[in-house]
Structure 1
């Protein structure tokens, strides 16, 4: 599950793109309102503004968002812990969530990039120790045996200036800030 930060919720509330300039501008609007806070009731993707007293009166019904700075610190701790407990099933889930062969329709969460198996393998090594003694080739074979989703995207051969050829896949990659929230 992806956590929505207070800053993201504010941009969502005002129907603005989530970027640094909008975060600063829109956060100031809410911070300048006396006794008003952004919160949600049942669904964190539906932010609302409510009087802080009302939120305090019923904290079970109205939940506030956590700042991205706090989430980032928690992610660092969680990422460190999850690196040592990952099993093969969790690795498959991680790969299927972070490297999509199709457009998920979320520009804020995913970015289209051309990547090699080596790029994916290098990213994976930062999140698990299962493949520490493996090569990129054995990783590719393992992905084939597990039918990892990104393999549905056929690789394309790219030629570089020195006439070397390399296979790349055009995948939708989850923004790194959300990697620790998967699998």
Structure 2
């Protein structure tokens, strides 16, 4: 679960930028030694959220220098651990050895490292597709960068027009099937895509009057078949990674339930909308909490802002009509009472950070007052195609993580 990496996250999945993945030496060696890409299946493992390669990790795990000889020696040694695999939990700089079965059971907690070594495998390219606007937005932000990326092999500086971006995007999604290039450009502006931060470049010859951008483009779009093949392979892995967020998130939640956790949902709507609109939007949020996050109990605040403390919400109980229509388990006050009453572990799920609060101290108070609250999950699939599952013990100690709850604009439109 893009990707940005956050330091010291207990459980987090965001899309890790692919530009960090491929070492210069590996790229050059690979292209000088093969004639056709189709006989190889790159093990980018993009969906596993790691900017550190497996080879360097092996050396770190065994406390040896990162050399080709050490890599070859300790890769063989790793194979002796047939039932275990090196992965990471909190920081990718701290490799650990974990049973493979446990990794498969909870892939968001135990993240694998990128293996830079290509695995030979005859494999026909399968068509992959972006299915939501959130995925398209994330895809464009990864492929087109306004500033110098860390990997100048996968990215090349070039001039690209909005129409050219539109044409590439259309090959990987049907979301814009009915849209023109002009309406796509308007959508990009409304979404504030990253490439719009690049310097504009208006060539002397531009018969269609499209805006051009000085940006960094994923994979040098050379005319050779090999480089085009590489580009599509990287992009296919990129898209597959984004599309696996939801099943991996749900797999981790199922694993929590197997370990005795109760999944509780919480939704909130601001008083800025009328009663009918709030009821309709809350109903959609409640449905998503049940279907996407497997919440067995759901509490809502039908009329509250994001900034007031949880303990001060819903004290008047004047939204009983909406509550009855939603058929939920109670309001914010009922949630707080329930959390204090249970003695089993709880995972609280909300739709985006502002869906619960925009005050980090409120999160700290909530966790400290309720020992049963062991996890807080924030899902933002419809808005940002991201998901977070925080270990509350670590969350309250990490100001970097808590700042996520302070950012009111991180994700919006909780009705999705």
One of 40, 47, 63 as aligned partner of 2:87: 40
1:48-87 alignment runs, 5 A limit: 48=95, 55-56=98-99, 59=102, 65=113, 80=128, 82-83=129-130, 85-86=131-132
Q: Distance in 1 between matches of 2:166 and 2:190?
A: 15
Please list the CA deviations of residues 121-178 of structure 1 after superposition, one character each: whole Å capped at 9, or x if unmatched: 122112211222333233212222333222122321235xxxx347531223456525
Indicate how the Cα distance of structure 1 residues 140 and 30 shifts in structure 2: closer, same or farther if over 3 A, else same.
Answer: same
Q: Which of the pair has more CA radius of gyration?
A: 2
Q: Secondary structure at the match of 2:202?
A: strand
Q: Which runs of 5+ in 1 are unaligned?
A: 16-23
Partner of residue 179 from structure 1, selected from 238, 242, 265? 238
Paired residue for 2:181, among 130, 136, 149?
136
CA RMSD of aligned residues (A): 4.4
Query: Displacement of 1:116 after TM fit?
Result: 1.8
Change (3 A) 1:26 1:170: farther
Is residue 2:87 matched to residue 1:28?
Answer: no
| Per-residue deviation, 1:10 | 1.1
Residue 145 to residue 40, structure 1, CA distance change in 2 (3 Å): closer
Q: TM-score, normalised by structure 2?
A: 0.30
Q: Give, in whole Å, the separation in 1 of the partners of 2:80 and 2:142.
A: 39
2:135 maps to 90
Counterpart of 1:18 in structure 2 is none
SS in structure 2 opposite 1:155? strand
| Structure 1 residues 90 and 49: alpha-carbon distance in aligned structure 2, compared to 1, 3 A threshold | closer
Contact 2:53 2:115 in 1 (8 A): no
- Report the TM-score when normalising by structure 1: 0.58
Classify 1:124/1:64 alpha carbon distance in 2 versus 1 (closer, same or farther; 3 Å): closer
Note if 1:118 corresponds to 2:163.
Answer: yes
Cα contact 2:85–2:100 (8 A) shared by 1: no
Q: 1:157 to 1:62 in 2, by over 3 A?
A: closer
CA contact (8 A) 2:54 2:115 kept: no
Q: Tell which has more relative contact order, 1 or 2 (C-alpha 8 A, sep 6+).
A: 1
Give the deviation of 1:107 after TM superposition: 1.2
Change (3 A) 1:28 1:123: farther
**Number of residues of Structure 1 aligned to a counterpart in Structure 2:** 159
2: distance between equivalents of 1:140 and 1:64?
A: 37
CA deviation digits over 1:68-127, x for unaligned, max 9?
Answer: 778x99xx76x62x43x32x3332233234322233x52179624322213211221122
How far apart, in 2, do the equivalents of 1:58 and 1:129 lie?
Answer: 37
